[in-house]
Structure 1
Amino acid sequence: MRGMVVPADAMPDWMISPESTALCFAYLICQKRRRMPFNIDWQSIDDVLLDMDGTLLDLHYDATFWLKNLHSIVAGITGDSEIDIRDRFREELKKHEGTLVWYCTDYWAEFFGIDLIGAKKQLAHLIRFRPYAKQFLEALQPLPLRTLIATNAHPDVIQLKLDVVPLSEMVDGIVSSHQYGVAKEDPGFWTALFEDYSIDPYRAVFMDDSSKVLEAADRAGVREIIEIRHPNLSEPPRTTWRQGIDDFDLLLPRLQALGQL
């Protein structure tokens, strides 16, 4: 019954322990913060740096391909079981985690012996914006801010997605880590990016769904670090302790107000 209070002596011990009480309280605070107005001092920002997959675009497309379709495609060619292919893939991924190889479609095309981009095109209908991402980019356009996409995606994958969604028309530039030979997890990426685009990291905001990439950006001195908690729309939002948002709607009111000044 709504509003009913359960007596403490009717509750299991684990529900009233200090540890569980603290965890419940922290969870409730986190849930409340999900819908609180999210304030960034946009007048102290010059550059808005945005990840692509899982930040602007729904990660469901990539997850479906890499975790499901890829295995069945390779199995149909080689005759190997999907389980064996999955295990080989996981083992190889572990070797290259945090490196550019992890994201390199050329490498994986050779590893599996398939036309990887051609296979990814079969699922192009799943490529779509995350909620309010398009409106967020539109709200940035009239402001004196530079908007750059900073992604680990291979240039071929970027082009595949640009053929479906009008990202290139809505930002000032798209930077692939493949241009620098190191992934965003590597400090070298941020050094090269800041130099190439004359970015003052203390006047920049960066949004990504990867905690390791966000940590790298934080170490590089980026002023505002925001985690995207709902990268895959087919899965529930994640709970994290880092400053973050589920969707871009929390950022729109302030941006739209600035755009009317």
Structure 2
Amino acid sequence: MCTVVHPAPDWATIRTVLLDMDGTLLDRSFDDHFYLEALPAHYAAANRMPVEAARERLVALYRAVEGELDWTDVDYWTRTLELDVPAIKDSLRHRIAPHPDSLAFLTFLRKRMIPVHLVTNAHPKTLAIKMAQTGLEAYLDRAITAFDVGCLKSKVDYWVKSEVILGFDPAATLYVDDDEAALLSAETHGIRHLYHRAKSSSTAPPQASSKYRSIETFHVLMK
């Protein structure tokens, strides 16, 4: 059972909002399908092996670079797997979708004239595909990827460099992410208003955080 956040943040004290992409604004079911189903199927066909064996091999490769920039680098995976990973991802773009409450929350923030920045581990090629499919870019002031700053959000340096680029005040910034490691590094940097997105995928049950205030939808913040 997720923690119900009540009352909503004091929006008069919030000067900047930072939002994660995959799992927070967008339904993570696309990424789960892509990395655990679609990509293993392509790899299996290219290497004439069973899909389950391909999945096991790819999961081991994913885990070997988890937490490093290569983890989300589609060019790295293109070289490693000898597959055109961006093209495969683009062919499945019809499966990419925002959470049902994302546009409402972005509209809520726009009406309040609060700057909204996307903070993501995604590769720029992945970001381009997802923004083109969803149209969310129109609601964002700027997007910062891990490749802009040279590390993933689980590293404090991500926030140090992002603050320089975006010019936000950590004490007056609200940040929502479904990744506790990213929230922890943001907290270490001093970002004050932290929320965990417990319902990251439409195909999986919500998973509340034991450390951060968890929300299943943005609606509890729109007050």
Determine if the TM-score, normalized by the shorter chain, exceeds 0.5. yes
Q: 2:213 aligns with which of 243, 246, 258?
A: 243
* Alignment partner, residue 108 of structure 1: 77
In 1, the alpha carbon distance for the partners of 2:59 and 2:119 equals 26
In 2, the alpha carbon distance for the partners of 1:208 and 1:119 equals 26
After superposing the two structures, state which structure 1 stretch, 159-168 or 74-83, moved more.
74-83
Say how many residue pairs are matched. Answer: 222
Deviation at 1:38, TM superposition (A): 4.1
* Alignment partner, residue 133 of structure 1: 102
* Alignment partner, residue 221 of structure 1: 190
Unmatched runs of 5 consecutive residues or more in structure 1: 1-29, 255-261
TM-score normalised by structure 1 residue count: 0.81
**After the TM superposition, which residues 33-52 of structure 1 pair with which residues of structure 2 at under 5 Å, given as runs?**
33-34=3-4, 37-52=6-21
Deviation at 1:122, TM superposition (A): 2.3
Report the 3-state secondary structure (helix = DSSP H, G, I; strand = E; otherwise coil) of the residue aligned with 1:92. Answer: helix
Report the 3-state secondary structure (helix = DSSP H, G, I; strand = E; otherwise coil) of the residue aligned with 2:111. Answer: coil
**After the TM superposition, which residues 188-199 of structure 1 pair with which residues of structure 2 at under 5 Å, given as runs?**
188-199=157-168
Deviation at 1:232, TM superposition (A): 0.6
* Alignment partner, residue 180 of structure 2: 211
Contact 2:37 2:55 (C-alpha < 8 Å) held by counterparts: no
The structure that has the greater radius of gyration is 1
Unmatched runs of 5 consecutive residues or more in structure 2: none
Report the 3-state secondary structure (helix = DSSP H, G, I; strand = E; otherwise coil) of the residue aligned with 1:131. Answer: coil
In 1, the alpha carbon distance for the partners of 2:133 and 2:61 equals 30
Residue identity matched to 2:79: E
Deviation at 1:197, TM superposition (A): 1.5
Change (3 A) 1:46 1:136: same
Instruction: Quote the RMSD (CA, aligned, Å).
Output: 1.4
Higher relative contact order (CA 8 A, sep 6+): 2
TM-score normalised by structure 2 residue count: 0.95
Q: 1:86 aligns with which of 55, 64, 68?
A: 55
Contact 1:46 1:144 (C-alpha < 8 Å) held by counterparts: no
Change (3 A) 1:113 1:225: same
Residue identity matched to 1:245: I
